[in-house]
Amino acid sequence: MAATSSEGEGKPIRCKAAVARRPGESLVIEEIMVAPPMPREVRIRIICSSICHIDLTFSDMQDPPGFFPRILGHEAIGVVESVGKNVTEVTKGDVVIPIFLPDCGECIDCKSTKSNLCTNFPFKVSPWMPRHENTRFTDLNGEIIHHFMYVSSFSEYTVVTFANVTKIDPEIPPNGACLLSCGIGAGVGAAWRTAGVEPGSTVAIFGLGSIGLAVAEGARLCGATKIIGVDVNPEKFEVGKKFGLTDFVHAGECGSKPVSQVITEMTDGGADYCFECVGMASLVQDAYASCRKGWGKTIVLGLDKPGSRISLSCSEVLHGGKTIQGNLFGGLKPKSHVSILLKRYMDKELQLDEFVTHEVSFKDINKAFDLLRNGQCLRCMIWMDN
Ligand SMILES: [Zn+2]
Ligand SMILES: [Zn+2]
């Protein structure tokens, strides 16, 4: 169905955005112009947005892929304001979550049940729109402002490609749906889709930040009976209990035993599934050593610094019979799996609200950055209307 026409459609919108002007500096709330959507694009009014470490990393990044000025933000929910030509998937007024990982629905990978890595729009942290390599944002002097992760949600309005929007049920509470658009969705998805955790299985999670806790929640949802958290901060265990953690290993206080030996003993031969959620190559090796020979699976979620490598001995690989697997967005296909998880949230099986530890209004967005920088929050929700 074609969108009904209204006043602002097809014209630029003047609105407020939080612009990252210079690396390492606070965002500046200013008025900007948001161009109308081009063919196969959608303009969205953002309802709320959460913030994750990737926003923080890129707000500090001096050199490419860091670009300035830029509108950060990539975990969000909004309402379609208008659509460009040839958009059939959504129409004006639909509630959508913009998701950084494209799902075109047409390429061999999007059609496959095995992959969520689109070939038509391969994901990269580009400063542009994916299809035309240009921007829909300008400041009031006419200077261009860069995009971020194909979403740029720290703005009252943004433009995304059809492949990056997932329509959802408008009855779903916006903060819960927003959380599934990146980090929390990736953690839950890694347990459900990438690992395929089964009822009764054992799981070890290295790093109990919000992604690690989301893995715990996913493993709990899948019926894992032993979920071990590994971290240097024992306070994380208390937080993690509500997401299903059953055991804790205080890394750094295992005496002479390596962590992998402690986990192997706790699980009577190694965990069925191990997850690396920190972004340290050495921890990937520890996770690999902690999973069970023959069928153990290690899932990599963290990203170490550029150029870092994982070292495994050939005999360990050959004799171990284990699997090591990476993933983007926890292996979730944005247009099919997210709605399944949202149903489980609405059925009160999947816990999402518990991840929201703080809420601020848009004008206080820099407070959200400070909370995350100081490790004080799991997820801080930024509400546009307040
Ligand atoms: Zn595709
Ligand atoms: Zn994120």
Helices (H) and strands (E) in the chain, counts: 11, 17
Distance (angstroms) between ligand 2 centre and the Cα of 250 equals 27
Distance (angstroms) between ligand 1 centre and the Cα of 87 equals 16
The answer to whether residues 317 and 196 belong to one domain is yes
Distance (angstroms) between ligand 2 centre and the Cα of 269 equals 34
Say whether pLDDT at 2 is over 80: no
The pLDDT confidence band at residue 5, using thresholds 50, 70 and 90, is very low
Distance CA(32)–CA(348), nearest Å, equals 40
Domain count, the chain: 3
- Please check whether residue 7 lies inside any domain of the structure: no
Distance CA(288)–CA(309), nearest Å, equals 14
Give yes or no for a contact between 121 and 7, defined as CB atoms under 8 angstroms apart: no
Least confident of 160-169, 187-196, 248-257: 248-257
Distance (angstroms) between ligand 1 centre and the Cα of 284 equals 29
Ligand at minimal distance from the CA of 53 is: 2
- State the average pLDDT over residues 235-263: 94
Distance (angstroms) between ligand 1 centre and the Cα of 171 equals 28
Distance (angstroms) between ligand 1 centre and the Cα of 82 equals 23
The pLDDT confidence band at residue 7, using thresholds 50, 70 and 90, is low
The answer to whether residues 317 and 205 belong to one domain is yes
- State the average pLDDT over residues 131-135: 91
Ligand at minimal distance from the CA of 110 is: 1
- Please check whether residue 149 lies inside any domain of the structure: yes
Distance (angstroms) between ligand 1 centre and the Cα of 85 equals 20
Distance (angstroms) between ligand 1 centre and the Cα of 118 equals 4
Interior angle at CA 280, CA 274 and CA 285, nearest 5 = 50
Residue with tokens 């020979």: 293
- Please check whether residue 81 lies inside any domain of the structure: no
The answer to whether residues 306 and 357 belong to one domain is no
Q: Given this model, what pLDDT does residue 74 score?
A: 97
Distance (angstroms) between ligand 1 centre and the Cα of 105 equals 5
pLDDT in tens, 149-161: 999 999 999 999 9
Distance CA(207)–CA(56), nearest Å, equals 18
- Please check whether residue 14 lies inside any domain of the structure: no
Ligand at minimal distance from the CA of 54 is: 2
Boundaries of domain holding 115 = 97-153
pLDDT-above-70 percentage for the chain = 98
3-class DSSP state of 178: helix
- State the average pLDDT over residues 183-198: 97
Say whether pLDDT at 127 is over 90: yes
Nearest to 151 by CA among 182, 177, 122, 189: 182
The pLDDT confidence band at residue 3, using thresholds 50, 70 and 90, is very low
pLDDT in tens, 51-75: 999 999 999 999 999 999 999 999 9
Q: Given this model, what pLDDT does residue 132 score?
A: 87
Distance (angstroms) between ligand 2 centre and the Cα of 272 equals 27
- State the average pLDDT over residues 285-290: 97
Ligand at minimal distance from the CA of 57 is: 2
- Please check whether residue 2 lies inside any domain of the structure: no
The answer to whether residues 319 and 198 belong to one domain is yes
The dihedral formed by the CA atoms of 18, 89, 352 and 267, expressed in degrees to the nearest 10: -120
The answer to whether residues 323 and 367 belong to one domain is no
Distance (angstroms) between ligand 2 centre and the Cα of 99 equals 10
Ligand at minimal distance from the CA of 100 is: 2
Ligand at minimal distance from the CA of 209 is: 2
Nearest to 50 by CA among 195, 199, 154, 186: 154
pLDDT in tens, 298-339: 999 998 888 899 999 999 999 999 999 999 999 999 999 999
Distance (angstroms) between ligand 2 centre and the Cα of 262 equals 32
Distance (angstroms) between ligand 2 centre and the Cα of 257 equals 35
Ligand at minimal distance from the CA of 161 is: 1
The answer to whether residues 284 and 379 belong to one domain is no
The answer to whether residues 208 and 137 belong to one domain is no
Where is the domain boundary, 109, 132, 153? 153
Distance (angstroms) between ligand 2 centre and the Cα of 51 equals 7
Ligand at minimal distance from the CA of 329 is: 2
Distance (angstroms) between ligand 2 centre and the Cα of 267 equals 32
Ligand at minimal distance from the CA of 99 is: 2
Distance (angstroms) between ligand 1 centre and the Cα of 248 equals 40
Give yes or no for a contact between 217 and 188, defined as CB atoms under 8 angstroms apart: yes
- Please check whether residue 60 lies inside any domain of the structure: no
Distance (angstroms) between ligand 1 centre and the Cα of 340 equals 20
CATH number at residue 268: 3.40.50.720
The answer to whether residues 237 and 324 belong to one domain is yes
Q: What is the pTM of this model?
A: 0.95
Say whether pLDDT at 279 is over 90: yes
The pLDDT confidence band at residue 265, using thresholds 50, 70 and 90, is very high
- State the average pLDDT over residues 73-89: 97
pLDDT in tens, 340-386: 999 999 999 999 999 999 999 999 999 999 999 998 899 999 999 75
Ligand at minimal distance from the CA of 164 is: 1
The answer to whether residues 136 and 235 belong to one domain is no
Least confident of 7-16, 195-204, 361-370: 7-16
Residue with tokens 């997820």: 379
Distance (angstroms) between ligand 2 centre and the Cα of 292 equals 30
Helix axes 53-60, 365-373, angle to 10 degrees: 100
Burial class, 223, CB count within 10 angstroms (exposed 0-12 / middle 13-18 / buried 19+): exposed
The answer to whether residues 256 and 309 belong to one domain is yes
Average pLDDT, the chain: 95
Ligand at minimal distance from the CA of 187 is: 2
- Please check whether residue 303 lies inside any domain of the structure: yes
Least confident of 154-163, 180-189, 249-258, 333-342: 249-258
Give yes or no for a contact between 193 and 170, defined as CB atoms under 8 angstroms apart: no
Distance (angstroms) between ligand 1 centre and the Cα of 133 equals 18
The answer to whether residues 208 and 303 belong to one domain is yes
Give yes or no for a contact between 243 and 217, defined as CB atoms under 8 angstroms apart: yes
- Please check whether residue 249 lies inside any domain of the structure: yes
The answer to whether residues 367 and 283 belong to one domain is no
Distance (angstroms) between ligand 1 centre and the Cα of 103 equals 5
